Amino acid sequence: MIRLIIAIILMGAVITGFSQEEKGDKKSNEMLDRLTAKTEAYKTISVEFAYKMENLEAGIDERTDGSLLIMGDKYRLNIAGQTVICDGETVWTYIEDAEEVQINAVEESEETITPEKLLSSYNKDYRSKFIKEDFLYGTTVNIIDLTPIEGKSYSKVRLIIDKEKDQLHEITIYDKNGSTYSYVIKKFTPNVEVPDSSFTFDKSEFPGVDVIDMR
């Protein structure tokens, strides 16, 4: 679940360069271009979000809140008793219930999720489609669907974007197994002052935990 959360939040928080090849209708491409223009200049992004995973057939309804701090390929995610810290080369995963921290290297593979990889993939891997204009979250929003060009485990990603602010409100991924994963952006703060130390593991923050180096 942690990888999926990072992927979707980063997908929404740093979506840029999507429509360079104009894969999709003109209206959705123009909206994504405006979103791009606002987010490209951000040095850092702080996001607070509400997460919901739902599968009606299986009777699953999971909800929790989380936060994500991003600076380039560095990030710090807090959700559901876990803290994931990445400095671009190393990933530290603190698991509260187990009272342990796992250390892994960031591996360059197709499965590895990084902001840089998401930025470079959006202009070739998805087709955009404007669905409709609606009134949600007390404001007028535009709804856009992103459909993967090649086979994925999910059928589409839906973005709900504030029409006036060109800012994301909600991201929903539709899995082919019938599950939906929704992320509602509760607070989005760009260009926050963040020390580099936020993206490295400080054992003093987690006293008494076991450290397991899996590199």
Mean pLDDT of the chain: 82
d(CA 9, CA 48): 10
Distances (CA, A) of 43 to 90, 107, 189: 21, 24, 11
Q: What are phi and psi of 138, to 5 degrees?
A: 75, 20
Q: Are the beta carbons of 120 and 10 closer than 8 angstroms?
A: no
Closest C-alpha to 187, from 9, 40, 4, 46:
46
- Per-residue pLDDT of 152-187, as tens digits, reads 788 888 989 999 988 888 988 899 999 998 889 999
pLDDT per position as a tens digit, 121-154? 545 677 889 999 999 999 999 999 988 887 778 8
Rounded Cα–Cα distance for residues 180 and 55 (Å): 7
Angstrom distance (rounded) from CA 1 to CA 3: 6
Q: How far apart are CA 74 and CA 2, in angstroms?
A: 15
- CATH fold of 2-213: outer membrane lipoprotein receptor (LolB), chain A (2.50.20)
- Above pLDDT 90, what percent of the chain? 47
Q: What is the pLDDT of residue 16?
A: 45
